[in-house]
Amino acid sequence: MNVGHAKTDAQTDFAQRVRAQKTVWSAGAYDACSARMIEQAGFDAVMMSGFGVSASHLGAPDAELYTMTENLAVVRNAVNSVNVPLVADIDTGYGNAINVMRTVREFEAAGAGAVIIEDQLAPKRCPICVGGVEVIDKEEAAGKISAAAHVRKNPDMLIIARTDATDPQEAIDRGKAYVAAGADVIQPISKCFDSIDGLRAMREGCGVPLSLQMLGWLEKELSPEDVAGVAGMATFALVPLMTAVQALQENLAVLARTRSSRELPRPVTSHNDFLEFIGFPEIEELQMKYLNT
């Protein structure tokens, strides 16, 4: 099958599932390698986490310190490494509505199956790491969503509008405005609601499926059935990054102390298994076919 056609079919199926609220489950990647692992595990899609990109590529907190082009490079590499749809976290869109237009063009051209745009004041601050964040005026935020919807070439490239408002009624009102402006999906932050009833009210009020980042109480308290009742997409955004950090910290501490890898607390993937995972057999096959040596 043509790879391009396969990706197009996957994109259409992804968009249809999300819009029909046949919940797409994903996990948060932070580079191309983690994206491959998420696909290998069996997730429906990959979400490129801005939190993870900042941590992995800058070793810095999620405060919109990386540029649009830096984020774009990570997303492009990840898209090229997997066959499932990839959702790009484009933060505030890197400017006003005109900047958002360029941002959406670039990420769609890179192969993103969806983009998440938030209504924070730029430069953003991560709401799970600070006490509170500022949001821009609802009309300005709706204008950015409208610009994003206008400029996308493929209507199946989903626009996920995230609101960082923490007042439930304000979040619902903003969600309605963003849907009217062209958003396909609405994403509240975990701090906004404290029960499934609040999420149900937002789903009903906005009239489109929600995108949920499974963090905090959502991760601990909601069942898969609860999630499926409101969400077109659900993402375990930080589990991959936090798993990798914990495992590396434990093994590296022992390695530095003992100068030996014989008694590491965490198992290590075998060399051959990693070669298989990362695709060396395919490269070797291509080398044998095309290199005249």
High-pLDDT (> 90) share of the chain, %:
88
pLDDT value of position 133: 81
Q: Which residues pair with 114 in a beta bridge?
A: 87, 158
pLDDT value of position 128: 57
Rounded-to-integer distance, Cα 160 and Cα 148, Å? 10
Average pLDDT over residues 192-217: 97
Average pLDDT over residues 64-68: 91
Domain ranges of the chain: 3-238, 245-290
**Which residue in 9, 31, 62, 137 is the catalytic one?**
62
Q: Which residues pair with 233 in a beta bridge?
A: 24, 211
pLDDT value of position 292: 76
Average pLDDT over residues 97-110: 98
Average pLDDT over residues 199-211: 98
pLDDT tens digit sequence for 266-291: 999 999 999 999 999 999 999 999 99
pLDDT value of position 1: 36
Mean pLDDT of the chain: 94
Architecture of domain 3-238: Alpha-Beta Barrel (3.20)
pLDDT value of position 161: 98
pTM comes to 0.92
As to burial, measured by CB atoms within 10 angstroms (0-12 exposed, 13-18 middle, 19+ buried), residue 169 is exposed
pLDDT value of position 160: 98
pLDDT at 126 over 70: no
Q: Which residue has the tokens 């400029």?
A: 151
pLDDT value of position 4: 57
Average pLDDT over residues 8-30: 95
Average pLDDT over residues 103-130: 86
pLDDT value of position 185: 98
Whether 62 is catalytic is yes
Structure tokens at 271: 């060399």
pLDDT at 127 over 70: no
